[in-house]
Chains A and B, each alone.
Chain A
Amino acid sequence: MLAAIRPDSWNYALFLHVLGAAVLVGALVTAGSMQILGWARDQGGGAPMFARLSFRTLLIVAIPAWFAMRIGAEWIRSKEFPSGADEPGWIGIGYVTAEPGGLLLLISVVLAGIGARRLARGRGADWLTRSATVLVLVVLAAYLVALWAMTAKPD
């Protein structure tokens, strides 16, 4: 029951970590929803619009939120588990999801950006935007696992 005994000095780091993570999940949900809507065949001219919005959401919201989440995580880890202290398993789950998730997020931004550009020019970009969508959904699933690990704190 860490919440009940957490020292006040940890709260700023936890606030940054939780706010960053929540906004990151929100950006992934928003970008993923727009990409999926862009797939729909009845969108007419909507696919380029949704692709562009999804790319901008990932670039302008998700990337800064990932940094806020990651900086907050390292800040509170340094307070809760100073160097040399044994780290429990759930910290490992955090690392395993945060860092590869960040790399996949970066790849999805690049794919979504190129896809949006090609769609705006009237060229096919299905595989690019669909690959970006799959990556966004994979990252979202990984961060939901991390959310479970951070709250349930399995050993």
Chain B
Amino acid sequence: MSRYDWLLFLHVASAFALVASLVLYTVLIVALWNRDVPSEAARLFRVQRVGDVLVAVGSIGVLVFGIWLAIDVDGYEVWDGWVIAALVLWLVMGALGSRTGKLYNSARDRALALAKDGSDAPSPELRALLQDRRALWFHVAGIATVVLLLIDMIFKPGA
């Protein structure tokens, strides 16, 4: 395998990890939507750890191996329009992911605190946090950004 083959494999594998994290978070958001029992929500949030690892590995991997590829491959440059578009979309994705994470992490922390207190009665406050429309829209915008990144990577407009 050449260096190009390795770099492409690692770049695409990182992109798959990133998409996998979004699928996992989406399933988690849907699963949590109508929950208000703290212990149930806290249990469900345990799967979030897998998504956190995937999103960290995936987002750093696509950036590092993507830039490396752009430098390594003849015919591509880091300042090509489609590469710059990808970098901008990566930053947007990061900002959206950070906002989404903050909102859902506060819901998770509240669920954990309520469950730890032993108050496992349905909590309207927890339900409101889990049904936060801003968090949902940040997540949907993050998905749209990753789809745009994928379109940019495959169609390479201007290349």
> What residues of chain A have their CB less than 8 Å away from a CB belonging to chain B?
1, 3-4, 8, 11, 14-15, 18-19, 21-23, 25-27, 29-30, 33-34, 37, 43-44, 46, 49, 53, 57, 61, 144, 147-148, 150-154
Contact = CB atoms under 8 A, between A and B. Distances in A.
Contact of A29 (B15, B46, B50, B76): B50
B4 A26 contact: no
B20 interface: yes
A26 B51 CA distance: 10
B155 A22 contact: no
Interface in B51-90: 54, 73, 75-76
A18 B8 CA distance: 14
Given A30-B24, A144-B13, A147-B16, 14 more contacts: A22-B19, A22-B150, A25-B16, A26-B16, A26-B19, A26-B23, A30-B23, A30-B27, A44-B39, A46-B40, A46-B43, A57-B27, A152-B5, A153-B5
Contacts of A26: 16, 19-24
Given A27-B23, A53-B27, A33 B47 contact: yes
Nearest to B31: A53
The range of chain B's interface size is 35 or more
User: Across chains A and B, which 3 residue pairs bring their CB atoms closest together, nearest first?
Assistant: A26-B23, A26-B20, A22-B19
B65 to A, nearest CB: 11
Contacts of B39: 44
B69 to A, nearest CB: 9
B157 to A, nearest CB: 10
Contacts of A22: 15-16, 19-20, 150
B36 to A, nearest CB: 14
A144 B9 CA distance: 10
Given A11-B155, A49-B44, A151-B12, A23 B23 contact: yes
Contacts of A15: 150-151, 154-155
A109 B5 CA distance: 34
Contacts of B20: 22, 25-26, 29-30
A23 B20 CA distance: 6
Contact of B19 (A11, A25, A33): A25
Contacts of A19: 19, 147, 150
A147 B156 CA distance: 21
B73 A4 contact: yes
B47 A30 contact: yes
A137 to B, nearest CB: 13
A34 B47 contact: yes
A1 B155 contact: no
Nearest to A154: B1
Contact of A43 (B5, B27, B43, B147): B43
